[in-house]
Structure 1
Amino acid sequence: MLMVNMLERMALITIFIYIILQTNIMKCFVKDKFDRKDKMMMIIIFSILAILGTYFGIYIKDQSLANSRPVGAIVAGYLGGPVIGIIVGFISGLHRYSFGGFTALACGLSTIVEGAIGGGFRILFKKKGLNPAVAGLAAVVAEITQMIIILMFSKDINSAIDLEKTIALSMILINSIGVFLIVMVIESSKKLVDGEVKLIKLKEENKVAELKALKAQIEPHFLFNSLNVISAYCRTDGEKARELILNLSNYFRATLEIEGDFSTLKKELALIKAYVAIEQARFSNRLEVKFLIDDNLLDIKFPILILQPIVENSIKHGILKKINGGIVTISIRNGEDDVNIEISDNGVGFENADESLSTGLGLKNINNRLRLLYGESYSLNITSSNNGSSVSFNIPK
């Protein structure tokens, strides 16, 4: 009957730990290395657990208890090391000592020793990591040690022997099972957290790889168009071809100086102007490009090679198809929370603007890059009609 009653109380303590592990406090228990804050939180939680074990205890005689107090100290030592186990054992042991009884001193001392034993087993079996079986074995050794200490330090040896005949088997078995279950729950939580961390790292690696792939698709796209324009001028206007080659070389020199996926708006605009110079050479008087830029934004961090494909899209689908040509306007303004970017033209527009995000290579890449860099809410907004088209987006300041 005693064993059943202790098992019921141990179930309550295990549920308590499970609830704790559903909160942010869990992060303090599942790390490979603990900082001062983690250790303090561990001492508080497992001291409360050990004290609850005393309150949940079953009175046998003369203030003597069959209880699960050692569980808190053993688990604290096993997770945090001997020092943490000893501190938790001292706090909960002192609390038990205040209850009095002929085993008060023995129980107080034994709780400290059990915390140290939990920490010792973690050191001895460090290579096994967080292992419920090892923790359970530590509890068996710790509980046997407690029984020896009770016999050594109790005021009444005969009463101590009678007490242990009643409680020894139940406490050794139930408390060992409790330690095993609690460490198993913590181990499962740690595996879950480790899996989430690996998943986040994998997503970050995939994000970087995809950004590099998208950028690699955009750069050749611009290069091939530029070389086609230059090759045409090589036969008709050598000086103009030379000027365009310089613009192209300036463009790629600037891209080689860029590290990562970001530059400044000033550098991005320099790239755009080099690109526009080549396109204006292609379309002559049919193409005009206006820059409406807030000068206060020139030094902000800006994703590289974002503007050029959008400008190219406006020229190709808007201006190129219009007999008299037209105007492309690049507007970059300072918004309340974000920087507002809009590339518009007064060309002929294009059909199925929304489908261009899934079918057009340039705009599709830009949309994917924005969402990868800033999140799902930072996507392209496209409008188009017979009077022209507009592509706008925001980036966080």
Structure 2
Amino acid sequence: MYEFNLILLLLQQMCVYLVIAYLLSKTPLFIPLMQVTVRLPHKLLCYLIFSIFCIMGTYFGLHIQDSIANTRAIGAVLGGLLGGPLVGMLVGLTGGLHRYSLGGMTASSCMISTVVEGLLGGLVHRMLIKRGRIDRLLNPFTVAGVTLVAEILQMGIILLVARPFQEALHLVKSIAAPMIVTNSIGAAMFMRILLDRRAMFEKYTSAFSARALKIAACTEGFLRQGFNQENSMRVAQVIYQELDIGAVAITDREKLLAFIGLGDDHHLPGTAISSQHSRRAIDNNEVVYADGNEVPYQCSLHRGCKLGSTLVIPLRGENQTVIGTIKLYEAKNRLFSSINRTFGEGIASLLSAQILAGQYERQQQLLTQSEIKLLHAQVNPHFLFNALNTLVAVIRRDSEHAGQLVQSLSTFFRKNLKRPEEEVTLADEIEHVDAYLQIEKARFHDRLQIHFDLPDVLLAVRLPAFSLQPIVENAIKHGTSHLLGKGVITLRAEQYNDKLYLSVEDNAGLYRMTPGGSGLGMNLVDKRIRIRYGDEYGIDVEFQPNEFTRIILCLPLMGREPC
């Protein structure tokens, strides 16, 4: 009954001990303790914190006979498990010397046993690290088992060292079970606190949303312009300024595109990838975190590099294939790491989306340009054949008019072959269309009339090149050319709010809706407008059978200030 009461009293004291541990886990001091510690600054912090807990375990103990039933072993064992043999021994020595200073029959034996407990935790640390079983090292059941063995050893040391023996034996009988149970449970719960804090730290970052949004806003459009060295350097600069880390790098599959931060004297953009961590991330399409603790990190370029850890996240393109990586680094002497895996993966997803969007846009542009060239190849031979036949007929009766037609033909083909692929002014587009119409008027004689209703103020507005000619050609080819009487083509330009409306109208009214659309030319023009400006723009058709067909182009008003 006495032992059971002592267990309850020690568990009560241990609860206070663990509450303090829980509260401290909310501070940055515990961040290095959430992983196996191998760096010197982290070892020093590990020694300091667990030495304090080791001493606290003595102060929270219960005085039994001429000794103290305590939870000191929790600090010593955990110091060794997380910091290694040297840290464990030093924590045990510090806690042991403190216990020795308090005196009593078991002062010497408790000092020795506390050092042994720290060493035991350190030896288990070394054994599991060599076997690559870090997961076992951070397992609460492993911690409980090691602490149980440590407490059994302590009882044995008390029996061997403490004198008189009979009193030592009576003491061990009284405190053995309570201390073994309490310290084993307490150590396991302490590790559970660390693991819970670690899981929360990995999953959430207080500034994640704000930083991610800011980085997204600042880097928007950079990589859409191309995944190259110049744009990557601009992105790396933004990320480096926003994150409190040692360095930022961006690579493609073969070489380093950008690097900024510590080590920029030997991590040079344009050089081939040499890091095994980067190669692993690229080849296996996986996130690689070499924290310098659980996974060793050493710069592959310079032994004296100040970088001590890296998080490598793949950048993924179409079909989730790896097209490069973003790498976040931390310095060796940095006590509290700012690298967060969840945050890093969020940034990588953002950049991957930019790259993919840029590739898609360029593919669309190339496709559209190819379609336009196809349209040119289809239209020009047919038109040239008709134009030459018309020219032959005109030469016979009116040489001056024939000269004007040659000039119009020259203007038309010059515009077709040499005009830019992107945007032109409405005046330039009308010049192209007018050259085409002059030849068609000569072909149809008095059966074709052309009317322009184009306000001068709108002639400077810009629009995609080669937008009107296919529409005008359709109006003649599928409209007025089938009339027995006079055909009339009217071109208008009007402004409503911030939009430009261009209409091409014929008086034939022969337009027919077909399942395949409205013909190659009109479909291409509509597709180009929608890709470039969005679905609120494009082509609409109004028609009244046997009366008129009106093709309306809706475009944004660009190239001048709205009226």
TM-score by length of 1: 0.63
2:554 corresponds in structure 1 to: 394
2:433 corresponds in structure 1 to: 272
SS at 1:193 equivalent: helix
Superposed displacement of residue 187, structure 1:
4.2
The correspondence of residues 127-276 of structure 1 with structure 2, limited to 5 A, is: 127=275, 128=277, 132-137=288-293, 183-238=340-395, 239=399, 240-276=401-437
Superposed displacement of residue 366, structure 1:
1.1
Cα separation, partners in 2 of 1:35 and 1:235, compared to 1, 3 Å: closer
SS at 1:330 equivalent: strand
Taking the aligned partners of 2:529 and 2:214, their CA distance within structure 1 comes to: 35
Structure 1: gaps of 5 or more residues: 44-75, 81-117, 142-177
Taking the aligned partners of 2:529 and 2:293, their CA distance within structure 1 comes to: 54
Is residue 286 of structure 2 the alignment partner of residue 286 of structure 1?
Answer: no
Taking the aligned partners of 1:78 and 1:137, their CA distance within structure 2 comes to: 19
Cα separation, partners in 2 of 1:328 and 1:361, compared to 1, 3 Å: same
- Residue number among 527, 535, 553 corresponding to 1:368 in the alignment: 527
Any conservation in 2 of the 1:319–1:326 contact (CA below 8 Å)? Answer: yes
Any conservation in 2 of the 1:29–1:186 contact (CA below 8 Å)? Answer: no
SS at 1:259 equivalent: coil
Taking the aligned partners of 2:422 and 2:264, their CA distance within structure 1 comes to: 49
Superposed displacement of residue 290, structure 1:
0.6
The correspondence of residues 36-185 of structure 1 with structure 2, limited to 5 A, is: 38-39=239-240, 41-43=242-244, 76-77=245-246, 127=275, 128=277, 132-137=288-293, 183-185=340-342
Taking the aligned partners of 2:214 and 2:430, their CA distance within structure 1 comes to: 48
Any conservation in 1 of the 2:471–2:522 contact (CA below 8 Å)? Answer: yes
Any conservation in 1 of the 2:449–2:489 contact (CA below 8 Å)? Answer: yes
Taking the aligned partners of 2:520 and 2:357, their CA distance within structure 1 comes to: 28
Superposed displacement of residue 119, structure 1:
6.1
Superposed displacement of residue 7, structure 1:
1.5
Superposed displacement of residue 132, structure 1:
4.2
Once the two structures are superposed, residues 316-345 of structure 1 have per-residue CA deviations (whole angstroms, 9 ceiling, x without a partner) of 222112210321110011221111111112
Is residue 510 of structure 2 the alignment partner of residue 333 of structure 1?
Answer: no
SS at 1:393 equivalent: strand
Taking the aligned partners of 2:501 and 2:235, their CA distance within structure 1 comes to: 44
Cα separation, partners in 2 of 1:291 and 1:345, compared to 1, 3 Å: same
Superposed displacement of residue 314, structure 1:
1.2
Any conservation in 2 of the 1:381–1:391 contact (CA below 8 Å)? Answer: yes
SS at 1:8 equivalent: helix
Which amino acid in structure 1 is aligned with residue 291 of structure 2?
A: A
Which amino acid in structure 2 is aligned with residue 258 of structure 1?
A: R
Cα separation, partners in 2 of 1:233 and 1:120, compared to 1, 3 Å: closer
Superposed displacement of residue 6, structure 1:
1.5
Taking the aligned partners of 2:447 and 2:510, their CA distance within structure 1 comes to: 16
Higher helix share: 1
1:383 corresponds in structure 2 to: 542
Any conservation in 2 of the 1:328–1:345 contact (CA below 8 Å)? Answer: yes
1:305 corresponds in structure 2 to: 466
Name the % identity: 22
Superposed displacement of residue 252, structure 1:
2.0
SS at 2:497 equivalent: coil
Cα separation, partners in 2 of 1:215 and 1:349, compared to 1, 3 Å: same
SS at 1:329 equivalent: strand
SS at 1:17 equivalent: coil
Once the two structures are superposed, residues 239-261 of structure 1 have per-residue CA deviations (whole angstroms, 9 ceiling, x without a partner) of 35543232111122234442232
Structure 2: gaps of 5 or more residues: 1-188, 220-231, 250-260, 268-272, 282-286, 298-335, 558-563
Taking the aligned partners of 1:6 and 1:119, their CA distance within structure 2 comes to: 30
1:317 corresponds in structure 2 to: 478
Taking the aligned partners of 2:519 and 2:525, their CA distance within structure 1 comes to: 10
SS at 2:193 equivalent: helix
Taking the aligned partners of 1:123 and 1:196, their CA distance within structure 2 comes to: 30
- Residue number among 197, 201, 225 corresponding to 1:9 in the alignment: 197
1:20 corresponds in structure 2 to: 208
SS at 2:493 equivalent: strand
Any conservation in 1 of the 2:504–2:552 contact (CA below 8 Å)? Answer: yes
- Paired residue total: 290
Superposed displacement of residue 13, structure 1:
2.2
Q: Which is worse superposed, 187-196 or 384-393?
A: 187-196
Taking the aligned partners of 2:508 and 2:436, their CA distance within structure 1 comes to: 19
Which amino acid in structure 2 is aligned with residue 249 of structure 1?
A: S
Superposed displacement of residue 374, structure 1:
1.3
